[in-house]
Amino acid sequence: MNAQSSLLSKAVAALVALCLLWLVFGIYASGEVMWAIMTLTVGGISLYVYVSAKTLAWRYLFPGVMAMLVFVAFPLIYTIQIGFTNYSASNLLSEERARSYLLEQADVSETRAYGFSLHADGDKVRLLLTPQGDGSSNPRFASAPMSLDVAQGAAVAMQPLARDAALAHPYNLRQVISNRDALKALRLTLPDQSLLVYAGLREFAVFEPLWQAQPGGALKRLADGVVYQPNRNTGYFEDAQRERLQPGFKVGVGFANYARLFGDADMRGPFVSIFIWTVVFAGLTVLFSTAIGMTLAVVLNWEALKYRTLYRTLLFLPYAVPGFISILVFKGLFNQNFGEINTILDALFGVKPAWFADPTLAKTMILIVNTWLGYPYIMVLCTGLIKSIPADLYEASAIAGAKPLTNFFRITAPLIVKPLTPLLISAFAFNFNNFVLISLLTDGRPDYLNTKLPAGTTDILVSYTYRIAFTDAGANFGLAAAISTVIFFLVAILSMVNLKLSQSNDQRKGGH
């Protein structure tokens, strides 16, 4: 039985290896050499781990390690790599693909268009070309009998048709349409070596190329003879006057994106302001949410308070409702002309603040909404932590005559701050990248004026990056990747600093 099981395992492993090689060959054949190497490497390691008897322990760790590498490490490394390129909406292709695209561009020669008809010839078909605006003196051309369902992509030689030659009745329009895919693939060669391609439901025409390949990867425009050389520093085909062709191609630009980010004053100004607001936004959100959530948790822990369960349920509702719904509700409530908040303020104080037009008011509104969304999480955490505090401490404090505030600052807060600190740091990191709130509530607006790239006064770094990469700035993926890399390291540094500070406080308290 063991021999049969071993034989079956080897057979399965061999089958998997063959499938892997087939997949790698397919990727390699498509021109993606690096992806083929990566697939072969990952697949080979996976096969070795699950086949070899020496790697039994790794079989349990391997899925988690590979998931971390594939879904965490690889996107991070790939993003960093893009930050050193000019990858953007105008530089999506490789140099070879951009050149091929331009070489495929052609114009239809309106003076050399031919109408066509299809005629049955036994079990095959003959194609007849007739010059447009047919005059009887113009020669017509016919193909030899051919099979349209087989001749896809074939070059078909056309010969002059004798005037007395008889052809079967032509196909009707429905029959022509049914063969359209095969007709599109045909390349017809006239006796003068002109090449005709399918130009419409009724005609073939000569396609005249616009560009001609030159040595060194250059392109020559046939209309005027201007030569465009590939500039591998900028990622464009350029002529002597630096005129550029579209599309460009992807090239490495070194630290140009980072130099632009920190060296260009027009970009550095908004970036620094947005970074400061991002830190302030994340910090104040955690501070306000913690203050409100902790206070409510302490109040709801008071046993003499009636209907505590009802209050706790009502206060938890903001966390139970999906955040994007709450954000959109608040967007309506803060509407300057029709929102309930301005209606109340107008009735009481005669003011109608422009929440979405004034930068300070917009930031205040964002903090209010995010605090509303965040305090229930802190309240639930603090409620659980307070329950873990021994009741004897409060009894001893009551005997000593301590007041509620003394209990909070001397017993409750010190005992829950330590386990709460890592969660507050994670909350800070989450709000540092809280794209959904900014996008749905203000979309980063109101915008800064006179900036090279669109930037909003309420943008945080992640929403600013999104606008650069996908919306207002022409999809500049390279620059956005550079900003994303900076964000990653900033969050990592801030998190490490917070952890170090919390550890230092714990050590000082332990020393006392």
Structural domains of the chain, with CATH: 2-82 (1.20.58.370), 106-209 (2.40.430.10), 263-511 (1.10.3720.10)
Work out the number of other CB atoms within 10 angstroms of the CB of residue 28: 16
CA distance 498 to 50: 41
Work out the number of other CB atoms within 10 angstroms of the CB of residue 322: 8
Which DSSP helix (H) or strand (E) runs through 231? strand 227-231
9-18, 280-289, 326-335: least confidently modelled range: 9-18
CA distance 81 to 118: 54
| Strand-pair category, 227-231 with 219-221 | antiparallel
Mean pLDDT for 6-33 is 85
For position 509, what pLDDT does the model report?
Answer: 57
> Higher pLDDT residue, 407 or 242?
242
In the block, residue with structure tokens 């951009």: 98
Name beta bridge partners: 349: none
| pLDDT above 80 (res 402) | no
Sorting pLDDT into bands at 50, 70 and 90, what band is 327? very high
Quote the percentage of the chain above a pLDDT of 70.
93
The string of pLDDT tens digits covering residues 353-387 is 999 999 999 999 999 999 999 999 999 888 888 88
| pLDDT above 90 (res 218) | yes
For position 271, what pLDDT does the model report?
Answer: 86
51-55, 76-80, 109-113, 482-486: least confidently modelled range: 109-113
Work out the number of other CB atoms within 10 angstroms of the CB of residue 128: 19
CA distance 36 to 28: 5
The string of pLDDT tens digits covering residues 60-79 is 888 888 888 888 888 889 99
For position 367, what pLDDT does the model report?
Answer: 96
CA distance 413 to 425: 17
DSSP tag of 214: -
The string of pLDDT tens digits covering residues 12-25 is 888 888 998 999 99
**Among candidate residues 107, 449, 446, the one with its CA nearest the CA of residue 277:** 446
| pLDDT above 90 (res 458) | yes
Q: What is the mean pLDDT of the chain?
A: 85
The string of pLDDT tens digits covering residues 147-173 is 877 555 678 888 888 877 788 888 998
Mean pLDDT for 175-189 is 87
The string of pLDDT tens digits covering residues 479-499 is 889 988 988 888 788 778 777
Mean pLDDT for 320-326 is 85
For position 3, what pLDDT does the model report?
Answer: 63
For position 98, what pLDDT does the model report?
Answer: 93
| pLDDT above 60 (res 511) | no
| pLDDT above 80 (res 434) | yes
| pLDDT above 70 (res 451) | yes
* Structural contact between residues 167 and 200, judged by C-beta atoms closer than 8 angstroms: no
Sorting pLDDT into bands at 50, 70 and 90, what band is 110? low
| pLDDT above 80 (res 452) | no
Our CA angle for 108, 110, 116, nearest 5°, is 90
- How far, in Å, are 201, 229, 236 from residue 242 at the CA level? 41, 10, 9
pTM score, two decimals?
0.71
